[in-house]
Structure 1
């Protein structure tokens, strides 16, 4: 009930403006003048404190021979990375499972989220508003609560019928789609709100069919927002833990479960090594997302 109230409050607080198809404005909103160096220094210091230092500490721990030893050349080693990458099959199994589940969920969510966002923006009704609120619930619920709901649902959806989904990787895929669909929906809503309906009307008036309108008008303009939402879904699912902690099964471990297992077993140097590799992967993904947004945005605006 609390989650539903929060989703409703968020829905009521959103006020869509008038659609305007143009490039995002990057000009400074506020000129700080002589206070700019101090503001930049404060911002950089805060970023260093809350982000960079914890990551450096984690990386330093992953390079130690044993947890608790002082960091230095005498205690530094790459053996932890060799162990998780070359001597532990479950790590590669977890990486493969996470990549497969996250990629498949992101692909399905990209299509579903874009279609629902289109209906919400172009054909709003009480049903689309209800769907928007309903899709927000799985994400606003605590992961443990949502995971428990998935277990109770798929153990026996109908009396006497067990489809075999619980205890397999399929339940993780279904859970990821249900939980993260709202992320793609939000990205789609924001993207469609920036495309004036007159763009579609002009294309149809020129004789373009529905497929041609999507291929030549909508997709070039929507691609930055939709691709950003899909990548956000992918990386969020890739690092998910709370839902997976209840739904994983032997052979269907994920990266988050593997890191948590190392830490629970007292192998902190292994958990930090795997976490450091994951951070590097996420950093590369963020760079890819920024590149897609930049080039797709320029291409879309040129076509517009």
Structure 2
């Protein structure tokens, strides 16, 4: 939002430095990334120090009694809250949808100025959009599956066999998500261009580096969801299964999976939807043929094709809303 009017923040300045190329482009970008990364890591450490002192037990009956009563003003406050939510969600989305239906930018929203041509172009006339959708779906699905398997296994170890090493590993896994996307993307470039002096694995500039970046960045989402799911299952359930003669696979298929599946699937869907719309990491790591949905929308907007960018964005919002509804359904199943 700030780039067209020459308002730069540190992350966009890093992006501009890197895409400007030149002999010192990466050096300048790396220097700025260190500053931004330090700020992010220090903020995360401060959050960890504050939260580690909180030890709320899940076995205590929650107290839902309101601490403050609003009395007669409760209806007025509720109206203000709902009005604010509508202002920050429905109004921008409605504006984007109306823009995507116009024949040209700047025209009034009348029946004569409305068309579905923008959607027809992005869906049927521009193969680049379908390639981007295919790339994003492939990246998101594989990222989700890998995170489901590895993240859920790690979450189980973190809950059932807690140790200092597991805790450090969890904090280390959170670092890629904590860092600003532009900083993490630059670190991926610098690492995979030549991970070992004299050896270039050929990953940079391919879909492979996007797979690695997505898995590293979004793994913590699955781990946190898995930890929450496994914490809701008392260890006595597993002990009862072992006493009853259940083996390893029987214990998982008959006891654990039915109980934790909604929770870990919710984490998987969160990983999928977050990866599907990712931009900041992909903007630096994509190459020809590996554009993602976020990069395509950004490219449309940068080229002045706002109508196409809003049309594609509207379709993605519908997809996210559908996925979000499924996540909510999974959460309700888990609560039940």
TM over 0.5: yes
The Cα shift of 1:34 comes to 4.7
Question: Distance between the aligned counterparts of 2:76 and 2:102, measured in 1?
Answer: 37
Aligned with 1:240 (options 278, 284, 288): 278
Gaps of 5+ in 2: 1-37
CA RMSD in angstroms comes to 2.0
The Cα shift of 1:200 comes to 1.3
Question: Distance between the aligned counterparts of 2:188 and 2:55, measured in 1?
Answer: 33
Q: How does 1:23-102 map to 2 (within 5 A)?
A: 29-30=65-66, 34-102=72-140
1:133 maps to what in 2? 171
Q: How does 1:103-182 map to 2 (within 5 A)?
A: 103-182=141-220
1:3 maps to what in 2? 40
C-alpha offsets along residues 34-82 of structure 1, whole Å, 9 cap, x if unaligned? 5443333222211110000000000000011111111111211111001
Q: Which has the higher contact order (CA 8 A, sep 6+)?
A: 1
Question: Distance between the aligned counterparts of 1:230 and 1:293, measured in 2?
Answer: 12
The Cα shift of 1:9 comes to 3.4
Question: TM-score scaled by structure 1?
Answer: 0.91
**Please, which moves more after superposition, 145-154 or 13-22?**
13-22
Question: Distance between the aligned counterparts of 1:125 and 1:156, measured in 2?
Answer: 34
**Please, which moves more after superposition, 154-163 or 279-288?**
154-163
Question: Distance between the aligned counterparts of 1:210 and 1:2, measured in 2?
Answer: 44
Question: Distance between the aligned counterparts of 2:262 and 2:56, measured in 1?
Answer: 19
2:30 maps to what in 1? none
Gaps of 5+ in 1: 299-304
The Cα shift of 1:164 comes to 1.4
1:255 aligns with 2:286: no
Question: Distance between the aligned counterparts of 1:195 and 1:32, measured in 2?
Answer: 37
Question: Distance between the aligned counterparts of 1:244 and 1:268, measured in 2?
Answer: 20
Question: Distance between the aligned counterparts of 1:16 and 1:285, measured in 2?
Answer: 33
**Please, which moves more after superposition, 49-58 or 207-216?**
207-216
Aligned with 2:250 (options 205, 212, 216): 212
**Please, which moves more after superposition, 283-292 or 270-279?**
283-292
Question: Distance between the aligned counterparts of 1:290 and 1:247, measured in 2?
Answer: 32
**Please, which moves more after superposition, 168-177 or 1-10?**
1-10
Matched-pair contact (CA < 8 Å) for 2:156–2:230? yes
C-alpha offsets along residues 232-264 of structure 1, whole Å, 9 cap, x if unaligned? 111101000000000001110100000000000
The Cα shift of 1:202 comes to 1.5
